[in-house]
Each structure stands twice: as structure tokens, then as C-alpha cells.
Amino acid sequence: MLTLPPRRACNPNTPFQSIRTLRLPFSTPRHATIALQVLGVDRELKPDETQRDLSVEGAVLVANFRCVSVRALRTSLSSFMDFVALVGKTVDEFGDKK
């Protein structure tokens, strides 16, 4: 399992009200790792409200979100999924061409 170190911008006493785990399958473990490396560099817009941890399990990208509110979770997930869609299209277009 490949994991990025978590970014801890939140106060450790922050009461996370909304928690969600996404498991996003890719066609190969290499593609999932590429997605992890690409998505891992993006910081949350409001790091005091949202904490995100990314890891790879085989060909699956695992994203854990902890947010202070449902609204913060929705905003973070929406933005993240836009980036995931872009990464997926890019990997499909340019990845592993021989």
C-alpha cells in the first residue's frame, strides 16, 4: 500500500462532523499511483475545515475526507472529483501507450 503523508493543517481538537471514504478503481496499480501523486500535491482551499488523506491499495485510490460540516464535505468532494475525472482522462489518453 502506498500512502502520502497526511497534511495536518487542522487543529487536532477540530470536531469533524462529516467523514467520507472514497474508493476509486483504476485500470492498473500504476495508474492509481499516478493519480495519487498528481492529486496529492493539491491542497484543500480551507485546510482548517477539511482534512484529506490519500493512499493506494492495489489498483484502487483511497481518499479519506474529514470535514467540519456537510457543506465543507460537499465542496471538497466536488472539487476533488473534478480533478479525479481530469486525471482519469489524461491517464486514459496518454498512459501506457506502446
Has residue 90 been placed in a domain?
no
Does the pTM exceed 0.95?
no
> What span, in angstroms and rounded, lies between the C-alpha atoms of 86 and 98?
22
Q: At 22, which CATH number? A: 3.30.310.50
Domain range for 75? 14-81
Residue 97 is predicted with a pLDDT of: 59
Has residue 73 been placed in a domain?
yes
Has residue 7 been placed in a domain?
no
pLDDT tens for the 98 residues of the chain, in order: 555 555 555 555 667 789 999 999 999 999 999 999 999 988 888 888 899 999 999 999 999 999 999 999 999 999 999 999 999 999 888 877 55
| Domain count across the chain | 1
Residue 12: count of CB within 10 angstroms of its CB: 5
